Amino acid sequence: MLNKIFSFSLGSLGSLIIGLISIPIITRLLSPDEFGIASLFMTIATVLSTTALLGTDQSLIRYFFEKNRVSLLMKSIKISFLTIGILVVIILNFNKEISLIISEKNTYGILLILYILISVIHRFSTIVLRMMQYGYRFSFIQILQRALELVLVIVIGTTLVYDHLTLIYSWILSLLILSVLTNVMIIPFWKQANENNSEIKFSEIISYSGPFAISAILIMLFQSADKLLLGTLSTTREIGIYMATFKIVGIINVIQSTFTTLWTPVSLKRFRDYPKDKQFFELVFSTTTIIMVTLGVTIALFKEAIILVLGPDYREAVFLLPLLLLMPILYTMSEITVQGVNFYLKSRLHIRISIVVLISNISLSLLFIPFFGAKGAALAVAISYILFYGFRTKFGTKFYSFNTSSTKVFIIIGMYFLWSLEIMFLNFKTIDKIGGLIILLVTYTLFRKEYSVICKFINNKVKNYL
């Protein structure tokens, strides 16, 4: 398990390094306003791309080891492309209205369509890559994506002009190149057409993916509501600062996505082969909690470095960072606790969870943003993600119960939340430092055994390398 994580984590490490290089370059080339416009485009494009998938990506993951894989992939793609056709008609007919949400400077319909089409193709090809557990290939794609985005921003900006379109063009072109390359990497997959597993029916895919489609769209709206409302109730500058903070959060997001990428197939296979081995899930959960909390606190402790990374125009990002780091921390932890819902095909419960947290995020954003701007959006998101983790854990352990260390997690997350509020609204530097160190000490005290497992693994890897 840890060796597989290592192969997938190489991409995280490479993306992290390139990200640290690219963030200060991009934020100095683009003003907060231009960065805010580009971020609004990406927010809408991501929501539409999720809608286009219609949950079929989850069906591909769920039945990958049980059905004929080639047939499963092709039928999933057909369903998604049908949805894309409907979205294209809607976008072309409401191009001006959709574009006004982003900016009055341009129309963005064609760019949105291109992004949706390419991102869906890329999504399916990367799922095949991860389900076949090609860790090093997947890592290469991750690293290349970051590198391409940076290179293309500089090339396009130098050729044309540095504005929000520069960033949008770089996103689309880099995704196109990666999609082609990823499909080349999975050529061996197509040779499995004659495998013995039975063919899957369209009805099976739709039956399973339907609830996931609704849930995925709701979750995407949940993750986007604060940004869209910030754009409506505040300024593009506030959005720019808010989204620039997400670039720093992206450091830990890379680790979150890498873990999720590996964890999904591993957990399904483990449950299929050893359904009573709950100790495995307990160890993974505890270890993941330690790593994510430690990373979050460590990054927040060095928050002043954000000014050096993002530039003086983005100074306010310092106060938003700790609360926004709760997103990847809690999401990663919940990916382990929620698996009971997926194991027993109770996908409709994802819809209930998504509705609750979406309503929470919208309500809290409407309440806080008019008074606190970007700080209000960050506060709304943090509270909503605490609810998100709580409901996923409650439903997941209802069907597949294992020890999620609820009391320990409550103590750690409660301390972290209060510490983040102090940083956002008071920002006493001495209290900031002491508070972070106390959280790390409490985490170590509560999870001493798991710390030893992590240290042994790192020590073995260093010895093997030397």
Q: Are 132 and 186 in contact (CB under 8 A)?
A: yes
pTM: 0.78
**pLDDT for residue 2:** 56
Which of 460, 227, 213, 197 lies closest to 347 in space, CA to CA?
213
Instruction: Tell me the C-alpha distance between 460 and 315, whole Å.
Output: 41
- Select from 352, 375, 331 the least CA-distant residue to 226: 375
pLDDT at 9: 67
Amino acid 438 reads I
Mean pLDDT by 10 residues, the chain (466 residues): 64 78 86 89 92 89 80 89 95 91 86 96 90 82 90 90 91 95 86 65 84 81 88 85 86 77 82 87 90 92 80 84 94 93 82 90 95 94 95 93 92 96 90 93 88 74 64
Q: What is the pLDDT of residue 23?
A: 83
At 315 the pLDDT is 82
Q: Write out the two tokens for 227.
A: 């940004």
Q: What is the DSSP letter of 199?
A: P
Specify the pLDDT at position 265. Answer: 78
**What's the pLDDT at 316?**
85
Distance CA 126, CA 141 (A): 9
Half-sphere exposure of 113 (CA within 13 A, CB side): 15
